[in-house]
Amino acid sequence: SITRHYKLNVVMRNMSRLCSTKPIVTINGRFPGPTIYAREDDRMLIKVVNHVKYNITIHWHGVKQLRSGWADGPAYITQCPVQPGQSYVYNFTITGQRGTLFWHAHILWLRATVHGAFVILPKRGVPYPFPKPNHEAVLVLGEWWKSDTEAVINEALSSGLAPNVSDAHTINGYPGPVSNCPSQGGYTLSVAHGKTYMLRVINAALNEELFFKIASHKMTVVEVDATYVKPFETDTIIVAPGQTTNVIVTADQGFGKYMVVASTFMDSPIAIDNVTVTATLHYSGTLASFPTTLTRTPPQNATSVANNFIDSLRSLNSKKHPARVPKNVDHSLLFAVGLGMNPCQSCIVGNGSRVVASINNVTFVMPTTALLQAHFFGIKGVFTTDFPGNPPFVFNYTDTVPPASLATTNGTRLYRLPYNATVQVVLQDTGIIAPENHPLHLHGFNFFAVGKGLGNFNPKKDPKKFNLVDPVERNTIGVPSGGWVAIRFHADNPGVWFLHCHLEVHTTWGLKMAFLVDNGKGPNESLLPPPKDLPKC
Ligand code: C2O
């Protein structure tokens, strides 16, 4: 293992997309930002220097940060932001992980343009558990907004209503031609006939789950969220914000140009948008003027396509990569997740109410001091540890007729876990306002998705059907619209760990909470002390 040094300069840069130009916040002037490479066991020293007017933090999404929560990055959860003109060195070691992850800003809506791939190679000499592909490529799926994203969310917050949607999706920063800007270029991936390619597909978009497909080519899925899965073949994958998927594609079509396409998946009655992003798979030797073989993704509400894909995911669970699924559970929790309405006097157009989101009816309030600091230094009054392990009242969660009161309670409440506890969380979608698929992301851990179903979770019957052998292991999971998903993890990482919906708009509305994991008694079981340059609030 080695120590790798990176420097990320946060700078403004003018970018032209969709036939207009605007300044965006970037890392090193690039959109998406640079790919960070590491190997399992490497130590990372990544210096972030803030040259813009916004506060910033960077999160290494999916990196477990064993005992190094100070480097995790969510603003006001594990650190105070890096203020304009300041810098911070994220110092962490990659332990027991290899695969595709990504990094992104974890404050305000800066993630819209501040993100990039994080590729962890296996230890030297350790092969992939599948035939080594000839080539590898990173495909970052994102969004392009014509307006300033901070203005978009601020407007929504003051009106109490939902924010606008993006103007296009992007693949490696480019939307491809769209109807109101036919000259917009798209990303081109050059391939050679007969070669195999591992595509590292990352959904870095703020608010939309995406279907992804390549004309005339099958994909073999080999990894999700930096964990190996039993390989299977598909023509469409589904990636939620916060998720990554590695697929192997064989360039088996002698010749030509093939459309690569991503579009919204939304298994809810609310239609979001239909903007499709296109890129091109270009066989070497094919003339640029050659016509592209077209394809389309499934319709926006193609829930069965999404479910087929999700249900095909299984941990590899081989001798070398066993699935360590917790068999017994110390803490069994039921989290009702969803949207609601709260009264709001100041909301301009929201008719006296605003959209909020909650877990177990708690709308999480961001503190003004970082929770991890408050915990480590014993600063009182920043949070409480009474987060409810169950919904405060029982109702038919998946009925669209909501319970009597829609109002949620506000609080910075954490759920406390002893070191090494085994935890099961059933994430239950609620139909208040509307059922919707929520990609929930847990910091600090991977979890196993042991069960999933439609309707209300049944604590007597459903656990009997749990898969405790080879469930998929990941860090972000879609809570099915009108249904539930059960996850299990070992709380073997002391610190404060955020759990939130990776649809940025839902996080903003309060669909978030945090676990506080105590230190263990052993020599390597406590949170390390904070670095000297840890930003102050
Ligand atoms: Cu990728 Cu808390 O986020």
Q: Which amino acid is at 101?
A: L
Q: Is the CB of 103 under 6 A from ligand 1?
A: no
Instruction: Please tell me if the CB atom of residue 217 comes closer than 6 angstroms to any atom of ligand 1.
Output: no
Closest CA to 449 of 430, 476, 483, 422: 476
Q: Which residues pair with 213 in a beta bridge?
A: 236, 261
Check pocket membership of 506 for ligand 1, CB cut-off 6 A: no
- Residue type, position 154, single letter: N
**pLDDT for the residue 75:** 98
CATH of domain 130-315: 2.60.40.420
Q: What is the ipTM of this complex?
A: 0.99
Give residue 78's Cα distance to chain centre. Answer: 17
User: Is 487 within 8 Å of 414 (Cβ atoms)?
Assistant: no
Say whether the peptide bond before residue 391 is cis (omega within 30 degrees of 0). Answer: no
**pLDDT at residue 230, rounded to an integer:** 98
Distance CA(115)–CA(514), nearest Å, equals 23
Residues in the chain with pLDDT values less than 70: 267-274, 348-350, 400-406
Q: Residue-wise over 214-240: b if at least 16 C-beta within 10 A, else e?
A: bbebebbbbbbbbbbbbbeebebbbbb
Q: What is the position in ligand 1's atom list of the atom closest to the CA of 102?
A: 1
Segment 408-444, tens digit of pLDDT:
999 999 999 999 999 999 999 998 877 788 999 999 9
Per the CB < 8 A criterion, the answer to whether 179 and 186 are in contact is no
At residue 350, the pLDDT reads: 63
Q: Which atom of ligand 1 is nearest to the CA of 61?
A: 1
What gap in Å lies between CA 45 and CA 370, rounded to an integer? 21
CA distance 382 to 412: 8
Report pLDDT for 55: 98
- 115 CB within 6 A, ligand 1: no
List the beta strands (DSSP E) in 379-472: 409-411, 414-417, 422-429, 438-442, 447-454
Which of 102, 209, 112 shows the shortest CA–CA distance to 166? Answer: 112
User: Which residues, 6 or more positions from 378, have their beta carbon under 8 angstroms from its beta carbon?
Assistant: none
CATH number given to 1-125: 2.60.40.420
Question: Degrees (nearest 5) of the Cα angle 122, 124, 128?
Answer: 40
Give the pLDDT of residue 272. Answer: 61
Look at residues 498, 483, 488, 422 and name the one whose alpha carbon lies nearest to residue 449.
Answer: 488
Q: In angstroms, what is the span from residue 475 Cα to ligand 1's centroid?
A: 10
Q: Distance, CA 218 to ligand 1 centroid (Å)? A: 30
How far is the C-alpha of 523 from the C-alpha of 520, rounded, in Å?
Answer: 8
The residue whose CA has the least distance to atom 1 of ligand 1 is 61
pLDDT of residue 274: 56
Query: What is the 242 CA–ligand 1 centroid distance (Å)?
Result: 7
pLDDT of residue 485: 98
Class of domain 331-517 as given by CATH: mainly beta
Residue 502: φ, ψ to 5°: -90, 10
Position 271 scores a pLDDT of 57
Per the rule left: phi > 0, alpha: psi between -120 and 50, beta: everything else, 378 is left
Q: What is the pLDDT of residues 163-218, one digit of tens each?
A: 888 999 999 999 999 988 999 999 999 999 999 999 999 999 999 999 999 999 99
Strand-pairing partners, residue 489, are 423
Residues of the chain with CATH 2.60.40.420: 1-125, 130-315, 331-517
For residue 172, the one-letter residue type is N
**Helices (DSSP H) in 323-405: which residue ranges?**
371-377
Secondary structure (3-state) at 132: coil
Round to whole Å and give the CA distance between 502 and 32: 18
Cβ-based burial of 532 (10 A; exposed 0-12, middle 13-18, buried ≥19): exposed
From CA 444, how far away is CA 152, in angstroms rounded?
A: 30
Q: Is any atom of ligand 1 closer than 6 Å to the C-beta of 443? A: yes
Report whether residue 102 contacts ligand 1, using a CB cutoff of 6 Å.
no
